[in-house]
Structure 1
Amino acid sequence: MISFSQVLDATVPHVSNLLRFKRYREVHKKYQHKYEAGKLTPEDAQKIMRVSAMYDMPRLLGYSLAFALFKTYGIPSISKLLAATKQLKGSETISRRYADTEILISTWVGCPISGYATEDRTGEIDPRAMIALARVNYLHSRYNIAWARKYGWRALSPLEEHAYYIFWVEIGKRMGIRDIPESLESMKLWSRAYEKQYMVANPINSAVAGYTMGELLYSVPNAFGLRRWVENLSTCLLDEPVRIAMMKPAQPWYNHLFLRSVLYSISFVQRWLMLPRSDSNHRHPVLLDFLKNPDGTINPRMHPTKYTVLPWYKPEPSTILGRTWDRLLVLMKIHSHVPSKSLRSEGYRLEEVGPIKLETVAREEVLKAAAVLQGCPITGAFTQ
């Protein structure tokens, strides 16, 4: 006689797998024909991306993006430029740069680049994506898909890969980048050729990578050589040309085996034993929902959905329990400091993110540029 536990063991993986692919099936049913006809728009691409980036594999794809940015430190000309900005040489500036980069990119992905939350283009306009883009363009004027296939509980489909390409090409065009390759395959070929020519070993690469690694591994204790071991494991995630360019030591086979065993085990558990993420459980700023001031007026400042080692933009707690919890996070080395006014606990405005010395610079210029990108004036709380 079959027991209840045996039925459960046989049923749970299949039910979990069925539910986990629900959004995947829906988005392919809706957009596959447009993809095959070559008619996907950037707005379509953004909606397709959200399935994997916001619900199916948000943490993994977030880490893959972080490592894609980290990978650029293997090119000496980029490392020298980053070192010259002095934004990666101290805990305060590194955490601020990471917090701001996370805010800007998550705003591009989570907020509609069309400015409309609905397909019929009605309702209140949401200009956050274009304000974030205009701010990046201003800051720049002054001075990866493979992970899902390797370590995710599912690979991205051709439709999803193409959507990522279409979306980021659109972002690149709005940033004024020229001569962008005309297809995903052309982009891959160009990227490999560029890396082969310019990614070479240089001490400046190692220095810039070291600053960032210190931020990422802040909470890992030094005791018993644990931090050094975790740093060695992280080196296993780097492609061989990147490792050589950053002058990182080659890792023994057992470190590679251990790391991949852990990552593959996680992907197996996620696919077969875990239910999908709920619609409200995402890590991107989707809803246009402002905080309120004590007098009931709108507070145009916002807070991130997650925080860096130095907790930039994290609100100061108003209760004893909240303050105790923040101190406990410091003791556990999750954060290095408690929230404070100096860390902008009141929140951020998209047109102000970036280096501290540029917070109050060019606000009106950024909003005007955002209006041009949006195709209409920026109004409402964003102009307060």
Structure 2
Amino acid sequence: MYQRGMGLYLAHCPYHIEYPIEITRRPWPWLRVRKRDYNSTKNESSFDAAAQQPRSSEMTSLVFYGNLTALAYLVIVHILRYRRIRSIVAKYPPLQGTDGKSTSDYCMTPAEAQKIIWTSSLYDHPMLVEKALEFALFKTYGIRTRLQTAILIQTWVHVPITGPGSGVEELPKGADPRGAIALANDDYLYTLSLFIMEPAKWIEKYEWRGLTLLERQAYFVFWSEIGRRMGINNIPGTLEALVEWCEEYEQTNMVPSQTSKTVAELTTALLLYHVPPFARGFGKQAVAALCPERLNRAIMYAGDSTEDYASIADLVYYYRVPEPPVWVIKSVDAVLNLRKLFIRHLCLPRSSPQCYVPFDTTGLGAPGVCPAGVSVCPVSGKQSPNGGPVYRLHPFYANNDPWYIGSPSALGQILANILTVLGIRNPRATPGPQFKPEGYRTEELGPSSFEKSKNS
């Protein structure tokens, strides 16, 4: 009876008995008991935590070195991103006695200006420079003319403006008929001013860095020289004077017209060439969001004729272009600003120039890329080594119709067909005989009267 009662007691007592033991009438001296650990679960958790402590330490080290690597990468990006422009600025200091706070504080030759603008147009901001010029020429672009204009502009920028192959001293002024066309001087001067000012505006607003005063002056010096060679007169002597003249010209001449509307609609279609059909509605609104208000008024989207209105004031009112929705404007700005921050902090700089056409800055006459004079193509005019036709150039890519792009490979053609069927690619974007895949020569660009046979 005693043993049974003792067994029940031990079974329910808050003590843990270390077995084996023998229960007798005098069990107490031989019982070795300890209090039950009600916190055993907590102790086990503490033990597990202690066991996992090395793993936690490894994670902490991993996070630390990951953050250190990310920080080092950001520093490297910053140093390399600004290295090229810093070297240019150091190479062309402001004039003696000036503080470098005005574009007029910098003096340079057209050849020096050309080398300076290579930094922004070929390395730092090639896409924005191209888009800025597209919008600058918004009212004058046609489909094929647009691509030829782009080729000519890139050739101006890339081919040395002086030195071997430039043709400055060899050819009389106006030897190229395209540079001797009778000009409506103010109209052409305004177009020239857009080439100088629009890239700076777009770069300042949407690129990862703005243009330095040195670069702004370089754009002015370079394009002013191009204008003088084209026969444009009365080019202002300073950038500030040109900006003032351009503003007055726009206020007087940028008014709504049916012609501007028609050309703007065609040009908008070009800008949205590669946009799938389902997204073109938003694309048109995005284009309007990127255009200044004065331009939007000039490229009206309603009405049939300007003759129905008694005054320009009535015309501006009735042809007022509805502003795109606020959310579209904010979305476009947000995307471009995110791009700006992403490039500034996370992208390494280009190691090679992004250019539209091949070019050679040595003037040595390399086959296929040879600056050979103002009025001839910057490609060797000699026969190719195998006795075939003379060398011809091909642009590296086409924004719209693939003029002068070589025929694609079989795999490239298959991929293009798949993208076309899926509605992602414009059906007209595939090179073909109608787009002269044999290439071009600079002296043939422009009106059809300048074209020659492909073997000439």
State the TM-score, normalizing by the size of structure 1: 0.78
Residue 300 of structure 1 aligns to a residue whose secondary structure is: coil
Corresponding residue of 2:73:
12
Whole-angstrom CA distance in 1 between matches of 2:406 and 2:419 = 14
Partner of 1:179: 234
Corresponding letter in the other structure for 2:286: L
Secondary structure in structure 1 of the residue aligned to 2:210: coil
Q: 1:100 to 1:234 in 2, by over 3 A?
A: same
Given the superposition, is the C-alpha separation of residues 157 and 284 from structure 1 closer, same or farther in structure 2, using an over 3 Å criterion?
farther
Residue of structure 2 aligned with 1:134, choices 168, 173, 176: 176
Aligned partner letter, 1:271: R
Are residues 100 and 328 of structure 1, via their aligned partners in 2, closer, same or farther at CA, if it must alter by over 3 Å? farther
Decide whether the 8 Å contact of 1:135 with 1:353 is kept in 2.
no
Describe the SS at the equivalent of 1:167.
Answer: helix
Asked if 1 retains the 8 angstrom alpha-carbon contact of 2:208 and 2:340, the reply is yes
* Residue identity opposite 1:113 in structure 2: I
Distance apart, 1:133 and its partner CA: 9.7
Query: Mean Cα displacement is larger for which, 101-110 or 6-15?
Result: 6-15
| 2: CA distance, partners of 1:275 / 1:132 | 43
Q: Which residue of 2 aligns with 1:202?
A: 257
- Residue 431 of structure 2 aligns to a residue in which SS? coil
Distance 1:192 1:310 in 2: 34
TM-score, normalised with respect to structure 2: 0.66
Distance (whole Å) between structure 1 residues aligned to residue 125 and residue 174 of structure 2: 23
Residues 25, 351 of structure 1: CA spacing in aligned structure 2 closer, same or farther, 3 A cutoff? same
Aligned pairs, number = 331
Q: Report if aligned partners of 2:110, 2:221 keep a CA contact under 8 Å in 1.
A: yes
Q: Select the residue among 391, 399, 403 that pairs with 1:312.
A: 403
Q: Higher relative CO (CA 8 A, sep ≥ 6), structure 1 or 2?
A: 1
Opposite residue 149 of structure 2, the aligned amino acid is T
Pairs within 5 Å for 1:1-384 = 3-33=64-94, 38-70=106-138, 73=139, 94-116=142-164, 125=165, 134=176, 136-137=178-179, 144=198, 145-223=200-278, 226-247=279-300, 248-287=321-360, 289-291=366-368, 293=384, 295=386, 299-317=390-408, 319-328=409-418, 330-331=420-421, 332-334=424-426, 336-360=428-452
CA shift at 1:310, angstroms?
1.5
Gaps of 5+ in 1: 74-81, 83-87, 89-93, 117-124, 362-382
Contact 1:313 1:343 in 2 (8 A): yes
Between Structure 1 and Structure 2, whose CA radius of gyration is higher? Answer: 2
Alpha-carbon contact 1:148-1:156 (below 8 Å) kept = yes
Cα pair distance change 1:104/1:329, threshold 3 Å: farther
Q: Which amino acid aligns with 1:230?
A: G
Q: 1:111, 1:285 within 8 Å by CA — same for their partners in 2?
A: no
Change in 2 beyond 3 A, CA 1:19/1:45: same
More helix by share: 1
| Alpha-carbon distance change, 96 to 157 in structure 1, aligned in 2, over 3 angstroms | same
Q: Distance in 1 between matches of 2:175 and 2:349?
A: 31
Partners in 2 of 1:183 and 1:141 — Cα distance?
22
Q: d(CA) in 2 for partners of 1:343 and 1:132?
A: 30
For residue 140 of structure 1, report the CA deviation from its aligned partner: 6.7
